[in-house]
Amino acid sequence: MHSTLIIPPSNSKEILILPESVAIEVPLDKKIALATVDWVRALNQAEAHSKEGFKTDKRALTEGVWYPFSHWKAVESIDQAATKKLMEFLAATHSHVCGFANRKFFQNIPDFTSSGFKGYRIMHFVLKDNVLPTDAIKSVRLGLSIIDCGMACQIARYGALLEVLGEKKFNILFGNSNRGQKMNIGYLVDDHLQPMKYFVRFSEAAIESVVRQNYKKKPEKIQGEMGNRPVKVGELVEIRGVATHRQKHPWTENAGYNLICSDDTPGKQRFIGLGTEGTEEEIVKQLVAGYNKNFQWSDIFPGLKNAINQAIANKYKDHQVTGLDEKKDEGFNSGSMQHFNLSLIQDLIDLPEEQVSMSYVRNHPCHNSLVMCEQAVVSKVLNEA
């Protein structure tokens, strides 16, 4: 039998030898946090590979992970005769606006509100009937997937749940049986079609930040500073770009990023998302550089031009900034931090498979505890001297 060497604390002179078969239990919060980071890192690496790989292997255009703008520009750069059928298909499915996920597993969500385009919800896909959620979530990493940063974080969270719950319970919860609710890999709209909303919650720091801002009670007390934010590994956060980015660049990915914290070490905090990884300072520089690029009308997807006011874009075409302004709600959004409902997930892990259901999830007491947490935070802030 092989053995594993365990190094004790530095003040000890003992060396302990444990059998390799003795597993060291990883706490659930750490396990699910690291799984989330691993999933979003895989998507980030796939996106980077696609942007470079298509130059030598055109299959990346139909197999990779992409932002809409980057994919459209890549396809445009190839001989039109070679990509005609692909362009026609993507135009017919509005994929460079609404996104794209493997049609064997996912389908668009009808939406005729402001969240939709041509009758489809932008960047939202729900599981098809009679397919396994486990197969579907794994297919996203293989592509073709045309997604945004919010979807990447959402996919990573589903992937993390798969890692800790196991395939059988994951398929029950996010399949189309009467015990589940079909997986929705979109992020922006958090309505009745999104089962993930029951598995995550805003952190107490995020709640306190919002309360302090709303009541004008020293919001800086909880917001922290660059490199030292109240965030933990695995949590989803938002770093907003320049407030007028959508006016100057109506269709690029540098308006802001949804990210996962990958290192919460004070002074060395790092974040990762689709198309970006680094410290808060590095990501802010990336957002500023994205804004300061010259606007070109030719960079707008033809299918979007009728929906965009060119005069507004031209008004900002020469506008430049040197940094982000917190007074304009730019930069780190301290009210955005979200983490998993660990008590719910632990109970699902412990629960016999035959008792697992979305009904159990919806009625779990953790949802009441969130309301109580919010009330306690409001009371604490308002009663401060």
Interval 238-266 mean pLDDT: 92
Lowest-confidence pick of 111-115, 116-120, 349-353: 111-115
pLDDT at 312 exceeding the cut of 70: yes
Residue at 69: amino acid letter: F
Per-domain residue ranges for the chain?
Answer: 28-203+340-382, 205-337
Lowest-confidence pick of 14-23, 33-42, 58-67, 68-77: 14-23
Contact 70, 64 (CB under 8 A): no
Interval 140-149 mean pLDDT: 94
Instruction: Say how many Å lie between the first and final Cα of the chain, rounded.
Output: 63
Say which residue, 21 or 250, is predicted with more confidence: 250
Predicted confidence at residue 20, as pLDDT, reads 57
Interval 110-133 mean pLDDT: 93
What pTM did the predictor assign? 0.90
Confidence of residue 22 (pLDDT cuts 50, 70, 90): low
CA distance 124 to 195: 13
Phi, psi of 288 (to 5 degrees): -65, -45
The pair of three-digit structure tokens given for residue 315, joined into one six-digit string:
């008004």
pLDDT at 149 exceeding the cut of 60: yes
CA distance 60 to 372: 49
Interval 292-302 mean pLDDT: 79
| % of the chain at pLDDT higher than 90 | 63
pLDDT at 3 exceeding the cut of 60: no
Tens of pLDDT, residues 181-214: 999 999 988 899 999 999 999 999 999 898 888 8
Beginning with the edge strand found earlier in the chain, give each strand of the sheet holding 256-263 in spatial order. Answer: 200-202, 331-340, 236-240, 256-263, 270-273, 276-278
Predicted confidence at residue 12, as pLDDT, reads 45
The pair of three-digit structure tokens given for residue 118, joined into one six-digit string:
């041509």
Predicted confidence at residue 161, as pLDDT, reads 98
DSSP H helical segments within 124-184, as ranges?
A: 133-142, 149-165, 167-174
What's the full length of the chain, in residues?
Answer: 385
CA distance 236 to 218: 24
Contact 292, 317 (CB under 8 A): no
Predicted confidence at residue 111, as pLDDT, reads 93
Say which residue, 50 or 312, is predicted with more confidence: 50
pLDDT at 370 exceeding the cut of 80: no
CA distance 346 to 103: 33
Interval 99-125 mean pLDDT: 93
Lowest-confidence pick of 24-28, 171-175, 341-345: 24-28
